[in-house]
A and B are shown apart, each in its own frame.
Chain A
Amino acid sequence: MIGILRSLTQVVRVIGRKPVTIQYPEVHREIPNRDRAFPILLWDAPIDEPYCTGCHACERACPVECMTVVMKDNPKHATGESKRRKIIDEFWIDYGRCMRCNICVEVCNFEAIGMNNTWAGHELSRYDRKELVMDLDMLMSQSKAGKVDPGLRA
């Protein structure tokens, strides 16, 4: 009997505490700088081109093989605007396959790929799985607009 009363007093004591929950869709929790959502490509703003040279390092290191990389000659290299001989032509990442292990970021030699640390990297629900395969424009759009600064780099 005493034990039951103790339990009840405990319950009454807890009622006074402040709630720890937040109303999610209206209120977004602040996410830490190191947060690892899905990988995105980064934009080299001064030269106005992506950092990525399409060297296939991330593609080879990916445990789940969710990436496809196609490289091309950099037209800006011929004109002398850029030091990069090769540049990314096509890049697909299947977000439905990616397991967010951060290995692509670690193996990248050019700091060209980073893990999205904004809410845009989390709220990605789609009606069709095909829509989760991101192409080059989608992967770069956020960094191009300056909306993201990944906390973890290679």
Chain B
Amino acid sequence: MTTTLRHETDDQGVMTVWFDHAGRSVNTFTPAALKELSDLVDSIAGSSDQVNAVIFASAKQGVFITGADLFEMSELDAAALRKFLAMGQEVFDRIAGLPMPTVAAINGHCLGGGMELALACRFRVAVDDGSINLGLPEIKLGILPAWGGTTRMTRMLGLTRALPMMLAGKIMPPRKAMSAGMIDAVVQPEALLAAAHRLVGSNPEDRKLSMIDRAAVKSAAVTGLLCRAAKRQAIAKTYGNYPAAERLIDVAHTSILNGHQVGLDAERDAAIDLFETDTSNNLRRLFFLRHHAKKAVKDAVGADPMIVERAAVIGGGTMGAGIVHALVRAGIPVRLVEVDDQAASAGLCRVCKMLDRDRKSKRISPLQMRDAMRMVSPTTNWSGLDLVDFVIEAATEKADVKKSLFQKLDGLTRADTVLATNTSSLSVSDLAAATQHPGRVIGLHFFNPVPQMPLVEVVRAGLSSDVAVATGGSLALRLGKVPVIVNDAPGFLVNRVLIPYLAEALAMAAEGAPIAHTDLVMKRWGMPMGPYELLDQIGLDIAVAIFDAVGGQMGDGRVMPKGFDRVIERGWLGRKSGRGFYDYGSRRRIPLIDRRGPRMNRAMIDLLSDGKHAAARPSDSDIEGRLILPMVNEAACLLREGVVDSTDAIDLATVMGLGLAPFRGGLIRYTDTTGLDEIVERMNDLATRHGRQYTMAGELHRLAESNQPMQALTQGTDGRPASGSAAPSKHPQHS
């Protein structure tokens, strides 16, 4: 009796193998599932006179196979892991070696091990559904495709096509996967099995490798050249922080050079090595945290969410339009409230542009794009709000404007409609106080640009009801975002942690720290961009506004460098004005990553530093320390004040919201991996040399003295990972 698959053979001798993991909503490869598949393949090989073809299909809605089961994998010891990896390779190799045609009929998500199974088949056909993903995203977990995926993909598509996809861990909709050469056909969902039966009788098309790839197969020199170039590029991008990238290139190199079997061995060895690195541990833990966000919301809020059938968004600016876009993509009709027709038109255009990007990436068809646009109904007269279940206000960030908006919304909506504000700096409780039913008011803080930023802070104000918070969290999940529940406090979580970082960067600039070098050091540390690049990106005027609004409330008495007012006066506002810490020139489109990088804006830097730029020569570790440690300190304050109650939430939010070094696993994980005692020591050292902003939060001191990790600050867990929010994986300090 099997529990993960069943099979049937028709009168033509075509066997259909149905993956249907009992009691689960998705199919994954657990060791048991793999064993079942292995036994089945044995029996197929043994009865090859009766079976003329094999079709692999899934009985799960929207899911083919999402890969190896990471939860069970994390529980395996090294030997068992090696065995599991070897077994997968061996089963897929036997499938590839079956004498009869094999087809993967891909009805839904087909990731990692699922894709590797598909690659081992002779044919791959997928349904035409832009919402499903295909690909080999292993690298995002710090490992590589090790069930023949790296080898097969490289040999099938050639180095130049396969490497970029695998290195980026790219997942894509079926149409994109087809043009990438990964699958043979894309068909209407209803026709999937018919197409699979048709393919059984056809001959595989000859895949034509590009000229360079054909040369690479023939000449070791060319292969070496390509791999070295790929490595250089990878290191330039990752600063060597992601060892899996380099290993993947090595394995691809080997499989081209030394053939399939040697490639497989290299793959397996690399996967086992990588699986045990801190990087992979951290990335997998983040994956679990993200995976558990739904449960985390449920655990944190003791109420069932309301169903949101229709929503309203107030304001169609960049943020508002981004939120509208997310809502209509999730199939939720939106009433978009704007001040006048022109503003509404601009808002619609913004939404349209975002949808067009989805269309270009083949996530949606032109038809779906038009349907999505029709779900947006703009109004300037505020009518129809009694029909909506959820309102997200994304108007100008001014307290009096927002307050009167909430007063107005209070009268225009049903009493059970949740009213959410997208404010980043105002007090949600103050806005709630402007209404008759403050219980339904929450914050729902999206990040800019909304389509790319996965994090949403769900802000619980003093009087927010559990239902409202639960509904906000579940809506965020429905939009494909990762919700983190925080209590109402200035700057919430992400901005609160960010401010000390940026403030310190400004202070360092004033002291004459080298700007470009500081940015480089922080990128090497793992930030997606350096602090000065980030300030330019945010806009210096906006940064000042955030400092004023939030920093003031934080009351830590940080002051702006004295030249800063004059910088704003001069119109040096950052990227948007063409000049900030860097000079972006007059080009309208500025590539985010420029090989040479933009030139520094010396006039401004001199103004800020009183002409002392680069006079100070802090060591790299000093730069890191001065910028990172204040964030750690702020995180401790957040926990003390109860803004968040778990260190996991901080890790998730800092990675998803700030892009903070995913390979380090987030701010708290970084602290605990480094060792809290060392962090505390460095902080003390900095405090003596640089002043009181490094005065450490009391609890860090206490924890360090009692030899506990910072993770112990999670409420009520005494250092054990919060139940359900962390994987059953072994964290370094527990192993």
Q: Do A and B come from one complex?
A: no
Instruction: Using CB atoms and an 8 Å cutoff, list the residues of chain A in contact with chain B.
Output: none
| Residue ranges of B at the interface with A (Cβ–Cβ < 8 Å) | none
